[in-house]
Structure 1
């Protein structure tokens, strides 16, 4: 009997240690989240019951609402617990989970998600960072795609390949947890994109999904009433407007919901003193200047509801938040110089209105954006390709160019699936709307696509470059070429690399090297359009226009969501974020993959390649 007890005890200890180990490993390997929503780790560090008002919704909340500004103007504490393209069902579980540690007097719920698809494909982020609780489990089983369920129940499954790219910060935060968020859930945006005219979102109304969302709004209102929380259901101000018919429908449908105050704050932009030349990050989101004005308006609005400020806040924390925002904002004020002497922008500025080079640059940019908005993609692409100013990088011009170029490419090729996917995502954040489940690439040091090591080569030190498939990286040895000729060379091939991807490999590689000669192996001419390894070839490219174009033109749409990246990760054509390559060193083989096995060949074998003339 004692033996059985010992075995049971040993089993229990083993299970407990296993659970602890898996939990610790998961916390370490998960990418750390400090901004762009779903910042649960920091939220849970807020002093208990210290928040007066909470904001829920999508990026229209965490990019537009600045809690430190609200506090400075009203003494009322607030926090943003939004998530990227967060659906209404997930928001419901966010609300229920949030009040476990806070007792807000009022909740602001942004309404644009009423017109989202059932799954916006950010479930992995929105639910994956929630604390383990009945609300997380309910969200997993009721509000996310079925294919995401295993990874959300067992997160280590999603992130076990991140070992090679872990930083000390990952390990420290994974072990000791997050610190309080100096932004209180807000995401600071400092770029300026002058706006000319509203651009309709063009959302498609799925009535079944809309009705389901409406039921969740009723649930949120009912829950808030039980908790004695006032609920404001509002539409955030934006230059990308919702369909007026949909707004009327929404207003009528929520009119009879108890404990819900409906507001369309697009009608209040004049009161906020919003400047379309300076206050927007893009058509949908404010930059820090616009967010500050909007938050000042919210402070007054909140006070009009006679919300009583808490006396339990950490005042030193909140004044630090105020100082932090002011400092960051002052650092970007210099970016306004380009706009100070400009007249009101027009959709298509006349050439005669251009007086100075600085003004001319802005005029070109405005003209380019206007062409994109009017879906005149051929003209937009032509303007971009003939403008050194746009190609050198200005705001997000490169992103729009990659989109327009890809759409033209697929329309000419008759690729209807790709055309539909691109058109479904045409708005100011089209790259963001397609960046759902970015895969964390493992460290790749052989068998092609070795961008991490290539980018460590001394600039302009390579004489000859080789491109193509495994017939390049298995067959060409740069060290032997150098020993025989003194000529430096490098191999930037990729597994089963198609010619379109080779084209963008070449463009990207030439940003750091100036070879005198390029070799391209021709077998890729006979590959299928989307050959088996196209996604691997692109996955390891730097985040640049060339990666975007390679993804949207040369990879099957089914892989786009794991290869595209957020506009917030993108700077411009000259400044590519290479921090993810910091773990790499130079490649001793210069792109060659050393093969030591020997297989005796008796006779020639012809490869079976299905020839497709298109």
Structure 2
């Protein structure tokens, strides 16, 4: 009887273990290529003592340096950014984060308000695959899926990646259990310089109004922050392209005024911040390189301290060791080839 029971258990357990091992092997690792796919997952290994949580797309994870804000103001911050992050994805990432900690300030980049729908599965995957399984992940998947996608492939990634055999590399085996960190507290460093040469003329749009769904989720973010005693900040990162229309800016400004929240349009402040688009951008003015990100972060830290009186943790022993490790990693990357 005991032998039959053991055999029965083995018949169930062994296939499950084999499928799990296959999934670990076949799921993309994003270690050296398309690093954006690894960023959301990294948060779970971070210290959960952040004063500031930053949500949004490449306009946050390539433009803001948490290390700069730490070194100059003692602010502990983390960027939960991802490529083409949509406003409802930001909302569910905020819900997910609040399971682990409650920051004093949440910053949301508003470029996502101009995107009404998910563009494709690839961008969805870079935000959703890295989230731990929870009701918030499932809700975000439901809201994000394109017509060609299905829920099961997000819950069981093996269903999506079972045919990756021909694409496997040594990295898939090396990082089967643990992938290396590709960011510094969510910041993806860019060191190149490609200066702005020309600024494309802005084409008129048929409709400048943010979608009802986007406004609904902005309301959800506002309410969630308010219910948890969190200060919400809306931000537009500095850029010369794509164009940020005055009609979009007015909608954000009006929303911030009506709800009594801070809106930082750093496009208008770029000169005061000291951003030089001949030296501080790596892609012709769409995003900042590390030099530009440090300048923006000095400004952002100043605004946060001034408006919310955040505590300077630089002499706090409970923060110092962890942040020293983060700072060391940052400068090793900055000074490397």
Q: Judge same fold: TM > 0.5, yes or no.
A: yes
Q: Which consecutive residues of structure 1, in runs of 5 or more, have no partner in the other structure?
A: 333-614
1:296 corresponds to: 298
Matches within 5 A, 1:315-330: 315-330=320-335
Do the aligned partners of residues 202 and 324 (structure 1) sit closer, same or farther apart at CA in structure 2, a change above 3 Å counting?
farther
1:306 corresponds to: 309
Do the aligned partners of residues 271 and 331 (structure 1) sit closer, same or farther apart at CA in structure 2, a change above 3 Å counting?
farther
Structure-2-length-normalised TM-score: 0.85
Structure-1-length-normalised TM-score: 0.49
For 1:12 and 1:215, the matched residues in 2 are separated by: 48
For 2:240 and 2:209, the matched residues in 1 are separated by: 27
Secondary structure at 2:112 match in 1: helix
2:108 corresponds to: 109
Is 2:149 the partner of 1:148? yes
Distance apart, 1:96 and its partner CA: 0.9
1:256 corresponds to: 258
2:195 corresponds to: 194
Secondary structure at 1:225 match in 2: helix
Contact 1:200-1:242 within 8 A present in 2 as well:
no
Secondary structure at 1:292 match in 2: helix
Do the aligned partners of residues 23 and 227 (structure 1) sit closer, same or farther apart at CA in structure 2, a change above 3 Å counting?
farther
Is 2:44 the partner of 1:44? yes
Contact 2:40-2:81 within 8 A present in 1 as well:
no
1:185 corresponds to: 186
For 1:295 and 1:52, the matched residues in 2 are separated by: 15
Contact 1:60-1:285 within 8 A present in 2 as well:
yes
Q: Residue by residue, what CA displacement relative to the aligned partner does 1:421-453 show, whole Å, maximum 9, x if unpaired?
A: xxxxxxxxxxxxxxxxxxxxxxxxxxxxxxxxx
Is 2:133 the partner of 1:128? no
1:31 corresponds to: 28
For 2:12 and 2:205, the matched residues in 1 are separated by: 49
For 1:57 and 1:146, the matched residues in 2 are separated by: 24
Matches within 5 A, 1:387-426: none
Contact 2:88-2:217 within 8 A present in 1 as well:
yes
Q: Which consecutive residues of structure 2, in runs of 5 or more, have no partner in the other structure?
A: none
What is the aligned residue count?
A: 325
Contact 1:40-1:131 within 8 A present in 2 as well:
no
For 2:133 and 2:99, the matched residues in 1 are separated by: 12
Do the aligned partners of residues 224 and 178 (structure 1) sit closer, same or farther apart at CA in structure 2, a change above 3 Å counting?
farther
Contact 1:196-1:276 within 8 A present in 2 as well:
no
Distance apart, 1:22 and its partner CA: 3.2
For 2:22 and 2:188, the matched residues in 1 are separated by: 28
Distance apart, 1:24 and its partner CA: 3.6
Contact 1:50-1:312 within 8 A present in 2 as well:
no
For 1:181 and 1:306, the matched residues in 2 are separated by: 31
Do the aligned partners of residues 28 and 101 (structure 1) sit closer, same or farther apart at CA in structure 2, a change above 3 Å counting?
farther
Do the aligned partners of residues 285 and 126 (structure 1) sit closer, same or farther apart at CA in structure 2, a change above 3 Å counting?
same
1:533 corresponds to: none
Secondary structure at 1:255 match in 2: helix
For 2:25 and 2:210, the matched residues in 1 are separated by: 36
Do the aligned partners of residues 85 and 205 (structure 1) sit closer, same or farther apart at CA in structure 2, a change above 3 Å counting?
farther
Contact 1:67-1:184 within 8 A present in 2 as well:
yes
Q: Which has the larger radius of gyration?
A: 1
Contact 2:61-2:81 within 8 A present in 1 as well:
yes
Distance apart, 1:325 and its partner CA: 3.2
Secondary structure at 2:258 match in 1: coil
Distance apart, 1:186 and its partner CA: 0.9
Is 2:118 the partner of 1:119? yes
Do the aligned partners of residues 275 and 208 (structure 1) sit closer, same or farther apart at CA in structure 2, a change above 3 Å counting?
closer
Matches within 5 A, 1:309-388: 309=312, 311=316, 314-330=319-335
Contact 1:238-1:266 within 8 A present in 2 as well:
yes
Q: Residue by residue, what CA displacement relative to the aligned partner does 1:294-332 show, whole Å, maximum 9, x if unpaired?
A: 111112122112112555755334223323433444457
Secondary structure at 1:39 match in 2: helix
For 1:73 and 1:148, the matched residues in 2 are separated by: 45
Contact 1:182-1:321 within 8 A present in 2 as well:
no
Distance apart, 1:157 and its partner CA: 2.1
Distance apart, 1:249 and its partner CA: 2.6
For 1:145 and 1:69, the matched residues in 2 are separated by: 38
Secondary structure at 1:277 match in 2: coil
